Amino acid sequence: MRSDQSALLIVAHGSTLNPDSSAPTWTHAREIQRRKVFADVRCAFWKEEPSLRDARFFFADETMSEVFVVPNFISEGYFTQTVIPRELELDGPITTRANGQIWIYCEPVGNNPLVTELLLARAHEIAPEAEPTETALLIVAHGTELNDNSAVAAKREAERIRARGEFATVANAYMEESPLIAEWDQLTNAPNVIVVPFFIADGLHSYEDIPKLLGIESQVMDLFRKNPHRVRGRSLYYGKAIGTDSRFADIIIEQTLNARSVTHAG
């Protein structure tokens, strides 16, 4: 796909405290811009600048006939269903502005089936020498007793990977609900355990909270370089948040293609 009349807006949560929160979104945007798939590629955030409200005015060029909005979120939820449509003044999957410009609202990146392949790829990349039949894969989400759709998405991914029968164990673990990541050694007897944070970006959770709950005693700079960590008599492999994978640029583009096919069919 190559269009001189289409723009891409990647929207993410962002953070006022953690600059790493928006880093993957900017990285993916630069890569997509480099490929010249769209005439313009921009980012907007809920908790950072540029804001979602400002993004309504990003594409004033009269030659820009359509804008694809892709939420860089792991799952559907309050932000994708309420906050983003409200702030961008979207009416639904297709919104026609007063100037005739069409805004197409895509599904969040976490809904794409390619995420399953990236989780598998990440697992093999951080533990290339681990025999899968002697290895457990744990997909970690935040989890909460209130509501956390990312926990549901993480469970879905675990079920898909488990169905392939590749690893000795494939399970979910959470920071704030059962099964707890702090009890990871009770979830499997496998001698090797791969832990992949199911987040869009690295931050305090992946740099500090999860390693502490796992029992990893290591500086941030060594977290991902010193695999495996020897913890509780096991070989523990720890990876970066899945959303930092450079191949998420492909997923973002595919979400626009999927939305185009659905809206055109409609």
| pTM, to two decimals | 0.91
Whether pLDDT at 146 is above 60: no
Whether pLDDT at 68 is above 90: yes
If you average pLDDT over residues 209-230, what whole number do you get?
Answer: 87
Whether pLDDT at 129 is above 70: yes
In contact, 141 and 213? CB cutoff 8 Å: no
If you average pLDDT over residues 98-106, what whole number do you get?
Answer: 94
Taking the C-alpha atoms of residue 210 and residue 109, their distance in angstroms, rounded to an integer, is: 23
144 vs 101, residue with greater confidence: 101
pLDDT, position 17 = 78
Taking the C-alpha atoms of residue 138 and residue 147, their distance in angstroms, rounded to an integer, is: 21
Taking the C-alpha atoms of residue 207 and residue 223, their distance in angstroms, rounded to an integer, is: 8
Taking the C-alpha atoms of residue 170 and residue 33, their distance in angstroms, rounded to an integer, is: 36
pLDDT, position 148 = 64
- Arithmetic mean of pLDDT over the chain: 91
Q: Residue 83: exposed, middle, or buried by beta-carbon count in 10 A (0-12, 13-18, 19+)? A: middle
In contact, 193 and 234? CB cutoff 8 Å: yes
Taking the C-alpha atoms of residue 153 and residue 182, their distance in angstroms, rounded to an integer, is: 20
**All domains of the chain in start order, with CATH:** 3-105+245-265 (3.40.50.1400), 111-198+203-239 (3.40.50.1400)
If you average pLDDT over residues 147-174, what whole number do you get?
Answer: 90
Query: Confidence band (pLDDT; 50, 70, 90) for 194?
Result: very high
Query: Closest by alpha carbon to 183, among 171, 197, 167, 199?
Result: 171
Whether pLDDT at 231 is above 50: yes
Query: Confidence band (pLDDT; 50, 70, 90) for 265?
Result: very low
Ranking 37-46, 59-68, 163-172, 240-249 by mean pLDDT, the lowest is 59-68
If you average pLDDT over residues 203-207, what whole number do you get?
Answer: 87
